[in-house]
Amino acid sequence: MPKVDDVYRAALKQAAQHEIEGSDVRYLLMVAEGFSSPADVIYYRDREMKNPDLFDKWMKERIEGRPVQYITHYASFLLHNLYVDERVLIPRPETEFLVSEITERISDYFDPRNLLMVADIGTGSGAIARALSTFFPKWIIFASDISKGALEVARKNLEGTHVELLEGDTLEPFIKKGLKLDILVANPPYVLSKEEAEPIVRDNEPDRALYFQDSNNVYEKIFKDIHEVKKGPMFLAFEIGPGIEEMLISCMNKYLGKHTYEIVKDNLGLSRYLFVDLE
Ligand SMILES: C[S@@+](CC[C@H](N)C(=O)[O-])C[C@H]1O[C@@H](n2cnc3c(N)ncnc32)[C@H](O)[C@@H]1O
């Protein structure tokens, strides 16, 4: 069997010819060889390859333009290893930051050790709900999506948790069930145009998860119906994209009543998160 290092170096050369990042090569090698981190590719470089054929097959798929997470059906999110496929968005580091911000901010609103009613709208792979259920085991979490396929993936990733899955448009399933919430989290589709997305994203990830549409403005739908699911003061946390701030502010003023909000920017100065304190 060839050594890990020989396969790695040859694959890096091949990747460079196709403008593929070295990090993708390490990712595929990590999963193919059962390593626990991409750095293990260097650490165990003198080992013989266990699965060279699988790695070759995966490299071909990556060269054909498939993201490594869909090829391996593996994505990591905070402490979790998630199953992913083309039915869901690949969970992003930005969304890990959203969850971290929630854990840091929540004590300003509630005692996080209490039984709190929480919604993750547009759960996709279930990443946010999965992480929150680990960090806050007492929370009663509902994760919803409009896509049946996404809910099938979320079900796999939420096995062993108490998260309840709901199918439907935005708050409709919550209103139907008469659920009243303390916290609402959402990472809705917010990319303004297909041209904005990188080709590997545009060609592989679901349109319904990515692109903002006037006819499916998930933020507006949430603000419009929020009073139907509100128990008392509420904390709302959203991932957002640049270019929609004005729309968000005007929708909040139109529908929310008494509230304060904060828009948090990333280190490039782009608006990336919205936190709302709803009285
Ligand atoms: C950007 S993805 C977020 C996925 C996941 N929460 C994450 O952060 O990785 C948006 C998700 O919202 C779902 N979605 C889009 N429109 C929706 C709607 N009107 N009601 C409920 N879910 C919706 C999509 O199917 C998709 O799974």
Tens digits of per-residue pLDDT, 59-73?
999 999 999 999 999
Q: How far is the CA of 111 from the centre of ligand 1 (A)?
A: 28
207 in the same domain as 148: yes
Report pLDDT for 7.
97
Q: Which of residues 46, 72, 98 is at a domain's end?
A: 72
113 in the same domain as 16: no
Residue 205 Cβ < 6 Å to ligand 1 = no
Residue 173 Cβ < 6 Å to ligand 1 = no
Q: Which of residues 17, 44, 72 is at a domain's end?
A: 72
197 in the same domain as 153: yes
144 in the same domain as 200: yes
Domain membership of residue 239 (yes or no) is: yes
104 in the same domain as 58: no
Domain membership of residue 208 (yes or no) is: yes
Domain membership of residue 80 (yes or no) is: no
Q: How far is the CA of 122 from the centre of ligand 1 (A)?
A: 3
Domain count, the chain: 2
180 in the same domain as 55: no
212 in the same domain as 125: yes
Q: How far is the CA of 251 from the centre of ligand 1 (A)?
A: 19
259 in the same domain as 121: yes
Contact 154, 143 (CB under 8 A): yes
Report pLDDT for 79.
83
Dist. CA 79–CA 100, nearest whole Å: 12
> Which residues of the chain register pLDDT less than 70?
none
Considering only CA atoms, which of 123, 247, 125 is closest in space to residue 188? Answer: 123
141 in the same domain as 15: no
Domain membership of residue 77 (yes or no) is: no
Q: Which of residues 50, 72, 94 is at a domain's end?
A: 72
Report pLDDT for 196.
86
Query: Domain range for residue 15?
Result: 4-72
112 in the same domain as 214: yes
